[in-house]
Amino acid sequence: MKEALFWSQEAKAVRCELCPHHCLLSEGKSGICGARKSLEGKLFSLNYGAIAGMAVDPIEKKPLFHFYPGSRIFSIGTVGCNLHCPFCQNNGLSRFFDEFGGQSEKLEHLSPEELIDLVERTKSEPIIAYTYSEPVVWFEYVLETMQLARKKNIKNVLVTNGYIEEKPLEAWIPFVDAVNVDLKAFTEAGYKKLGGTLEPVKRTIQRLFEAKVHVEVTTLVVPGINDDLTEMEQLAAWLASLSPELPLHLSRYFPHHRYHAPSTSLDLLHRVKEIAKRFLFHVYLGNVVEDASTFCSQCGKLLIRREIYSVEVVGLQHGRCISCGKPLWGHYAD
């Protein structure tokens, strides 16, 4: 447990200012995320250093397709989340505190220094992904670890729902190299079903993009939540207003947790992809077995061949198409 950042006192309560919920917490109460608690007039992080998942993954699993493709990335995660998606695929972690009555002190703990030492001794690229559950509610630990990683020339990747306030985001930005933001819907009605609002997530994506952080976006296409084709067209058009080169990953939903609608049909998923490709050059399907290769947006040459997690860079040299010379948006090993 560690005293949290970004909170203020209000009478006999504390106001968390980490995310747009702005939870007002009386003594002994935790926020919506479950991971931040009011104690003795202060706000504390309950999951500081608590490790719920750790593995070396293909970077494509995050998913990141335009950031050092083919790399093996050290992935780490904790417990808690500030949204309540009924179809959550990691609900054992995200709902650890409220639904499972979890006690984070019983989890393995690593200090930022211990984690960096472990990464340096592991057979992976010098990249850490903060993933599995929501890194926003692990804010203090992620910030301290990213700061140490930067000093060691280790890159930092966030896999996040983007539901964070502006000041905490600005504190993170200098240390973030790449991010995949889960843009869960493109209407306020859709986000209401998930316990959040749309505009803060859009603001996060735009600010990261403006700060020249490498950004990719994932949208899980869920029947009854965000499967309206007009909504998906608006989502793609908005991303294209930032850049038509920005990669979009459209993933197939399967019933899980508290949501039991039928799986996303492949026909719908392909129709959404066709719509998105009117606006964006790089659109990929996730949770399906099919070609996910990258092609030059100018001449159409195959640049990166992907078969599940088997990746081969075939048409790039110094980040440019070897046929026409157009740069491929992203970051690539020379």
Q: How many CB atoms lie within 10 A of CB 325?
A: 11
CA angle 245, 249, 250 (to 5 degrees): 130
SS3 98: coil
Say which amino acid occupies 36: R
Q: Is 81 annotated as a binding residue?
A: yes
Strand order in the sheet with 155-160: 53-58, 72-77, 127-130, 155-160, 178-182, 214-221, 248-252, 283-286
29, 88 Cβ separation under 8 angstroms = no
Q: Is 321 annotated as a binding residue?
A: no
Q: Is 33 annotated as a binding residue?
A: no
Element containing residue 50 per DSSP (H, E): strand 50-51
36, 45 Cβ separation under 8 angstroms = yes
Q: How many CA atoms lie within 13 A of 181 on its CB side?
A: 24
Residues 6+ apart with CB under 8 A from 13: 24, 25, 26, 27, 38
How many helices (H) and strands (E) the chain has is answered by: 8, 21
Can you say which residues are annotated as belonging to the binding site for [4Fe-4S] cluster? 81, 85, 88
Can you say which residues are annotated as belonging to the binding site? 81, 85, 88
